[in-house]
Amino acid sequence: MASPRDGENHSSSGERLAASNAAEEQANGSAKVEGVKKHENIVPKAPENEYYEIRAVNSKGYGCFALKPIKIGTRILADSPLLIVREAEYLLVDIQAEFDKLSATDQALYYTLHSAHNQDPNNWPKGIHPTVLGRERQRIQEQHNARTGKDANLISIFQTNCMEKDGGAAVFPNAARFNHSCNPNACFAWNSAIQKETIHAIQDIAEGEQITLAYCDTTHDKATRLWELKHYGFVCDCRACADGSDPTSFAAKSAARRYRMMELQQETRMFRGKFLEVGAQTEGVVAKLLEFAKLMNEEGDRTFRTATVYLDIALVCEHKGDLKFAKGAAQKALQIIMDCAGPDFPEIKDYAGVVKRIKDKIQVKEKEGKEANGP
């Protein structure tokens, strides 16, 4: 199952795929997993680049650290897929078929990636609901076996590292080395124009700072994030997940912001995307979207989701005839998506198109105004 999408119509952020279904997973049986090789414990290395290197960290094995200050919007990495599976709801046979096509070197590289196996079965549901049958039942069973199995295998590595790609999933050997934070300073996206997974800085990153991505939906509350991240076999210790009992702490403020963001997401859902025209005719929608954008900015969340919020503000204002405000919001949306994915990202032209259309409308209006006033 894909990790929770953000529910935005225009979002194409490549969200990392969480391993499998939530409530109904099963603990019995051991899978016959073919192609199992010993999970090699090799110190990973970053590809030759100017921005980061891989260093050991205490709790997470290895992480990617900035070699120099990195400005927001910088493309830190563009990574080619190692193994692609077309099916988001993949089975072992799907991975095995692709794995068999790899060279011996690439197969060995695959097995150097982190694997979240060896998990306590007691942390997972004990049975699959009897109504779940066929392929889906097999998939849930395979995923469960992989994460609770003693050794790394094709599935445990895939589910720990895969990222969404064109409705399926892929493993990117270098992008997979970046650790998670619920308050990340970088984001990833599949760029179909260059056929690479990109990682861009979404905040200014200091020299020596760890570069992090969000594997889960960052608007979710801590308990939900904990569940989502369990699929990757770790408990997050980022500053948003720290003890929030002190109301002045970042964790407490962050939890309050995320709670309000979820409320706003619910409240504006029926006024966005294909319902934008309704939004334009409904009192208070822009104010709610602006509050949403403000909270995301305070959270440091300058991601695709933030871009879509500004884009919707622009479209609603354009519809209402408030072109000046619409232009500002559209330019902001364009800037954010540029920072997240780079100028060669295919959707950039859609965002740029909205900016141009609104600017053209302003020009026409100004011209009409001048003509009306006469020489």
Please tell me whether residue 240 adopts helix, strand or coil conformation. Answer: coil
Distance of closest approach, residue 240 Cβ to Zn ion, in angstroms: 5
Q: Which of residues 201-240 bind Zn ion (CB under 5 A)?
A: 236, 238, 240
The DSSP bridge partners found for residue 198 are: 78, 189
> For residue 299, what are the contacts with CB-CB under 8 A and spacing of at least 6?
183, 218, 254, 257, 258, 261
Closest-CA residue to 242 (of 259, 254, 233): 254
Distance of closest approach, residue 364 Cβ to Zn ion, in angstroms: 48
Q: Which is nearer to Zn ion, 212 or 306 (CB)?
A: 212
Distance of closest approach, residue 76 Cβ to Zn ion, in angstroms: 21
Q: Which is nearer to Zn ion, 93 or 235 (CB)?
A: 235
Closest-CA residue to 271 (of 289, 255, 248): 289
Task: Tell me phi and psi for residue 34, to 5 degrees.
Answer: -85, 155
CB atoms within 10 A of CB 127: 11
Q: Which of residues 36-95 bind Zn ion (CB under 5 A)?
A: none
Binding window for Zn ion (CB under 5 A); candidates: 119-127, 181-189, 204-212, 329-337: 181-189
Q: Are strands 61-66 and 179-180 parallel, antiparallel or unpaired?
A: unpaired
Distance of closest approach, residue 182 Cβ to Zn ion, in angstroms: 3
Q: Which is nearer to Zn ion, 250 or 325 (CB)?
A: 250
Q: Which is nearer to Zn ion, 207 or 237 (CB)?
A: 237
Residue 182 is a binding residue for Zn ion (CB under 5 A): yes
Q: For residues 304 and 202, is the Cβ–Cβ distance under 8 A?
A: no
The DSSP bridge partners found for residue 75 are: 200
Structure-token pair, residue 248:
């002045």
Distance of closest approach, residue 181 Cβ to Zn ion, in angstroms: 6
Distance of closest approach, residue 186 Cβ to Zn ion, in angstroms: 15
Distances (CA, A) of 364 to 57, 323, 329, 358, 367: 58, 11, 19, 10, 5
Helices and strands per DSSP (H, E), number in the chain: 11, 10
Distance of closest approach, residue 21 Cβ to Zn ion, in angstroms: 22
Residue from 76, 213, 241, 355 touching Zn ion (CB under 5 A): that is 241
Q: Which is nearer to Zn ion, 241 or 358 (CB)?
A: 241
The 125-154 contact track toward Zn ion, x by CB under 5 A, reads ------------------------------
Number of residues engaging Zn ion in binding (CB under 5 A):
5
Q: Which is nearer to Zn ion, 213 or 293 (CB)?
A: 213
Please give the residue ranges that form the binding site for Zn ion (CB under 5 A).
182, 236, 238, 240-241
